[in-house]
């Protein structure tokens, strides 16, 4: 019998829903906090971060998340974060990742947009050489900052247009942040060739997912788990093969789902919806992508073949070019054949 943990650990994977700052390991967060000690509430002791990352609700998560964003003060911080995130992903056999990056949060804290983009691009190229992982960017609007943030995120996306940029997104809280108001910005981003990947249906109901699809032209949905409440929406997603970026542990840690046993992953899969497994903000949620595959295995009663199918689904749902997708799928197939 194949040891499932060992299988997951070595399975080649891609990650489609993981946040740039939210992926900072306790070691990196503590190092950044020490650099800026006295100017941040974030502990400089890695062991103290577990308590700091104990979230009361989604609003508290956003508050803590932004305090970590405040630690990124200059392009050197940006480079360090990006390179180390790539290192952590590569250790889990991630071959390709689309990181959700929020340039607005850094630019408004004083890092010029050209310098920010130069730092992530240089770190991306170095990470591919150092770790064999390809990174791409989804520049997302922090929804809580409203339309000025949308305007600036679009401007940075179109004016700077770093080589790794493939998608345009919308993150932050959903409650009180209607999706339709962002339609003009998504229209312009899509017209410029960027793919649409807004968050929707995590802490709000199915209507938010409908709005992301109809108003923002979503090609993938970040989270989307409330779709399980709407049979018509499930059928729509299944028929049009629109993938969901599902992050099970995240949904529990932010209280979007009360207990992991209540997570709707199985209902989504049973309805024929394409799902990908992701880690969201892994160190903050005390998880990894490998851990999320183990959670998915329990929720779906998946064997190694089922987990390999999930890995292939993530590859095909990615915005990697067809040749790149084919290479990773061939690697997954070769790995499975040796087990």
Per-domain residue ranges of the chain: 4-337
pLDDT (tens, 9 = 90+) of the chain, 339 residues, equals 468 999 999 999 999 999 998 888 878 888 888 887 766 788 788 788 777 877 788 788 778 778 888 888 899 999 999 999 999 999 999 999 999 999 999 999 899 999 999 999 999 999 999 999 999 999 999 999 999 999 999 999 999 999 999 999 999 999 999 999 999 999 999 999 999 999 999 999 999 999 999 999 999 999 999 999 999 999 999 999 999 999 999 999 888 999 999 999 999 999 999 999 999 999 888 899 999 999 999 999 999 999 999 999 999 999 999 999 999 999 999 999 998
Tokens found for residue 23: 């992926």
CATH number attached to the domain at 4-337: 3.20.20.140
pLDDT of 90 reads: 97
Q: Helices 183-191 and 146-160, interaxial angle, to 10°?
A: 10
| CA max distance for the chain | 55
> 279-296 burial, b if ≥16 CB within 10 A, otherwise e?
bbbbbbbebbbbbbbbbb
Residue 1 confidence (pLDDT): 42
| Catalytic site residue from 98, 121, 202, 245 | 202
> What span, in angstroms and rounded, lies between the C-alpha atoms of 273 and 131?
33
- Starting at the edge strand found earlier in the chain, the sheet holding 134-142 runs 13-19, 94-101, 134-142, 165-171, 195-200, 221-223, 244-246, 275-277
- CA distances 51 to 32, 64, 183, Å, are 18, 11, 38
Instruction: Assess whether 313 carries a catalytic annotation.
Output: no
pTM above 0.85, yes or no: yes
d(CA 269, CA 280): 20
């Amino acid at each position: 019998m194949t040891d499932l943990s060992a299988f997951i650990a070595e399975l080649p994977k891609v990650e489609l829903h993981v946040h740039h700052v939210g992926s900072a390991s306790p070691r990196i967060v503590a190092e950044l906090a020490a650099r800026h000690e006295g100017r941040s509430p974030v502990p400089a002791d890695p062991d103290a971060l577990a308590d700091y990352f104990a979230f009361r609700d989604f609003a508290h998560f956003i508050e803590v998340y932004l305090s970590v964003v405040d630690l990124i003060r200059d392009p050197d911080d940006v480079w360090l974060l990006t390179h180390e995130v790539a290192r952590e992903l590569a250790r889990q056999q991630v071959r390709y990742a689309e990181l959700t990056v929020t340039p607005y949060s850094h630019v408004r804290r004083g890092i010029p947009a050209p310098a920010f983009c130069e730092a992530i691009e240089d770190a991306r190229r170095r990470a591919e050489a150092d770790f064999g992982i390809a990174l791409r960017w989804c520049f997302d609007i922090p929804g809580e900052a409203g339309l000025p943030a949308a305007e600036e995120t679009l401007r940075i996306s179109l004016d700077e247009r770093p080589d790794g940029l493939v998608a345009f997104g919308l993150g932050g809280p959903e409650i009180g942040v209607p999706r339709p108001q962002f339609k003009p910005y998504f229209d312009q981003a899509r017209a410029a060739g960027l793919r649409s990947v807004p968050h929707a249906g995590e802490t709000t109901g199915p209507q938010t997912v409908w709005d992301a699809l109809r108003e923002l032209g979503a090609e993938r949905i970040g989270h989307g788990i409330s779709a399980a409440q709407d049979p018509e929406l499930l059928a729509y997603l299944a028929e049009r093969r629109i993938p969901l970026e599902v992050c099970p542990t995240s949904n529990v840690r932010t209280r979007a789902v009360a207990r992991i046993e209540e997570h709707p992953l199985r209902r989504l899969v049973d309805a024929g919806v394409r799902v990908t497994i992701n880690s969201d903000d892994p160190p903050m949620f005390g998880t990894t992508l490998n851990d999320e595959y183990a959670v998915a295995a329990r929720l779906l009663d998946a064997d190694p073949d089922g987990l390999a199918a999930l890995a292939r689904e993530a590859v095909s749902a990615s915005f990697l070019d067809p040749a790149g997708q084919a290479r990773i799928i061939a690697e997954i197939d070769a790995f499975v054949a040796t087990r």
